[in-house]
Chains A and B, each alone.
Chain A
Amino acid sequence: MARDELPDSVLVAKAKRGDWVAFEQLFWRYHERIYTFIWHFLQNREASEDLTQETFVRAWESLHGLKSNDAFQVWLHQIARRLCLDALRKRAWEKPMSDIATYDDQKVSVGEVETDLEFGLEGKSSPEEIDPEETLFESERKKAVRIAVSKLSQPLREVVVLHYFEGLPVDEISKVLGVPIGTVLSRLARARESLRKLLAHYLDEVENEVNRP
């Protein structure tokens, strides 16, 4: 088995013994997920990168506190979530409400491309394989979806990010958030209802794509 394919539990066990390389593997495996998760809390690249760094630093420092090696992903998300909540609380404390930058205040709206956001070209391993036109097109649609998601309330937003963007199963989400599975499903349903209205314009596009041979 190649090192890349080693399961989390093995890498965590190695990292617990001080193996930095194993921890690097875990970093490469999860840094995008954690970054995405944090970004949807803070909606600011620099702050999200800082918190991503902080999340992994804390994970390394307190790896001994992780009881079950299999639960690394859930545990990492828990750390990230607590840091985000702390940061949001601190931000609310330091700035009056009117100063808190919202998505719209940063002059990013559906259809506008130039933003603070740098969306990666996910799903494609090398630039050569990406159709430039499609990328441009898809990128705009993705931005629209992200903006729509950012308009959801925080409880709905985090389940959407964890489930649809990161692909986390519902039972793991319930562990990350510390709520029952039923609650997670209910939040997903409410979120999908809201998004269906927010993204009505793009749904037709999707339908056309589906109908296309």
Chain B
Amino acid sequence: MRFLVLVSLALTGFALAESEQPSAFDILRNMATVRSISYIVTAETVRLKPQTSSATATIYFKAGRRRVVYGDRFAPALAVLDDGKSVYRLLPRWRVAVRMPIVSQKLNFDLLRKNYELRLLPSEQVAGRDCYVLVAQPKHQNNPARKVWVDKTHFVILKDELIDSDGTPIRVFVVRSVNFNADIDESLFSVPSGWQVANAPYRPIPSLSLAEAEKIAGFKVRPPQFVPEGYQLSSVGVTYCQHGTPVVHLQYSDGLNTISVFERPAQCRSPRGRLRLRWGWRRQQTCDWLPQDDFVHSQIVNDLRVIVIGHPSQPIMQQIAESVR
């Protein structure tokens, strides 16, 4: 750690001496390490491909803890809370917090450097703040490019664009207003008292190998033979569908973007799930809770149900799913 800091300081000093501007990697490093600030941000996310959808979110940040409130600020539809140890989905209607322990996945600079060429463009202003503009150009064709606007003082992303290989945006994240060093109530970063905390059926083990995942899940996992160029397996996890059938999650990353491949036995094996009568709300719940979006591809390959989620186009996701045989 000390070595890393020394190296980064040396690099920063060298870069400043050369052009009085930090390099793109310095900016990324600063972004990854910035912690001791607090801010309130109102942002808008627009997803343009394959279908248009948008959401407004308010993000509260204080010393590494986060609270993201989706929807109108006065009538929030959903809140995600990160208290530094776990991430919770807050459901105000039932006063329940669903705990989702997460894998602490850091930025992989080597992979990023291997697959992308980082460049710094002239500064721009976003929400009234001066920003560095970083562009990550993919070295492999068909992979999307990324353009990020980073606040010069606090190293916070204020604008973020994911751009398809044909130059059109896939997703745009824009901060509309930002308030740095705001005074934020501590209670916002903990589960409200009196709420019930429930654990999501999720077993995240960061260093899980494929063999261990197979042992937990109880079926033979077959990784896809094809993934887009530059992607490599970054983590393996096990979760459970709501009827109790284990699902193996393979995550592929190219340093910037991720593709998830979920595999489970084609037949949901839990007898409870099939025999129990479900009325009303419960009856409508299928085994897989999938959004009605095109960025999800689901199909049965031999005896496995394969679900691919990511930004690539449908034909590529289908190709990934079919390569599971």
A and B touch in the complex (CB under 8 A): no
Q: Interface residues, chain A, CB within 8 Å of chain B?
A: none
Q: Interface residues, chain B, CB within 8 Å of chain A?
A: none
